[in-house]
């Protein structure tokens, strides 16, 4: 593994993780355009650091760069304002394929609403809970990898994950119209 990261090029080692990098950027920034900016900037940084990369986990390495780039971005805490939660369902991501994947338009609409609502609930979590949850559930990182990416002790990762899940459920239960 170490040999492949030393031998491999940026294209073969880092670029396979573009989706993961984008997913994290998108959930951190909560805005499509800001996420793409962060992704671009993170890739440039990754390219600069790559000759020194000796690790065995390029995905975690790239995600850490994405996270640091996002935290350095002034737009990080503006995502919720930039994109009002009510219309956070935009044209990218999994939402775009709903109409074709579902024959029945009514069911497609219900699914689309459920997704929209889920996204709004996740987006409303504080950033440190949100990133922990996204890294665990969507990127399927281990606690150790999350600790590495977020530069946080494992104990903190565990309690953040717990709080994130409880907050999400609590918000889902108190939400009107449920």
Partner 1 sequence: MTVSEPFCEMALLVQAEFDGELDAAQAAALAAHRAQCPICQAAEADLAEARTLLLRGGYYALPDEARRRVLQRLKPVLPAHLNRRRQWWRAWWTGGIGFGLGAACAAALALVLLSPAEEGLTRQLVASHIRALQPGHLEDVVSTDKHTVKPWFDGRLDFAPPVKDLADLGFPLKGARLDFLDDRAVAALVYQRDKHIIDLYVWPATVRSDASPQMTESQGYNVVHWRWNGMRLWAVSDLEVDQLRDFADDWQRTP
Binding site for partner 1 (CB under 8 A): 3-4, 7-12, 15-16, 18-19, 21-23, 26-27, 35-36, 39-40, 43-44, 47, 50-51, 92-96, 114-115, 118-119, 121-122, 133-134, 136-138, 142-143, 158-159, 161-163, 165-170, 172
Task: Between 15 and 68, name the residue whose CB sits nearer to partner 1.
Answer: 15
Instruction: Give whichever of 64 and 125 is closer to partner 1, judged by the CB atom.
Output: 125
CB of 171 to partner 1, least distance (A): 9
Which residue lies nearer to partner 1 by CB, 71 or 162?
162
Q: How far is residue 53's CA from residue 63's CA, in Å, rounded to a whole number?
A: 14
Rg of the Cα atoms in the chain = 17
Q: How near is the Cβ of 78 to partner 1 at its closest, in Å?
A: 18
Contact 5, 112 (CB under 8 A): no
User: Cβ of residue 16: shortest distance to partner 1, in angstroms?
Assistant: 5
Q: Specify whether the CB–CB gap between 24 and 32 falls below 8 A.
A: no
| Choice between 72 and 114, CB closer to partner 1 | 114
Cβ density class 64-83: b for 16+ within 10 Å, e for less: bbbbebbeebebbeebeeeb
Least distance CB 144 / partner 1 (angstroms): 9
Task: Give CA angle at 123 (21, 99), nearest 5°.
Answer: 80
13 is written with which tokens? 């080692």
């Amino acid at each position: 593994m170490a040999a492949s990261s030393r031998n491999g090029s940026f294209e073969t080692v880092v670029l396979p993780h573009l989706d993961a990098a984008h997913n994290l950027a998108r959930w951190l920034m909560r805005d499509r355009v800001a996420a793409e900016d962060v992704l671009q900037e993170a890739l440039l940084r990754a390219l600069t650091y790559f000759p020194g990369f000796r690790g065995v986990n390029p995905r975690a390495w790239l995600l850490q760069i994405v996270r640091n780039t996002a935290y350095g971005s002034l737009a990080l805490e503006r995502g919720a304002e930039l994109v009002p939660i009510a219309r956070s369902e935009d044209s990218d991501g999994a939402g775009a394929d709903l109409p074709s994947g579902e024959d029945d338009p009514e069911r497609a609409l219900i699914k689309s609403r459920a997704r929209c609502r889920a996204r709004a609930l996740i987006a409303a979590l504080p950033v440190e809970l949100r990133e922990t949850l996204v890294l665990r559930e969507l990127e399927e990182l281990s606690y150790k990898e999350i600790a590495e990416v977020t530069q946080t002790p494992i104990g903190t990762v565990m309690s953040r994950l717990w709080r994130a899940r409880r907050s999400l459920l609590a918000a889902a239960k108190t939400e009107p119209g449920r």
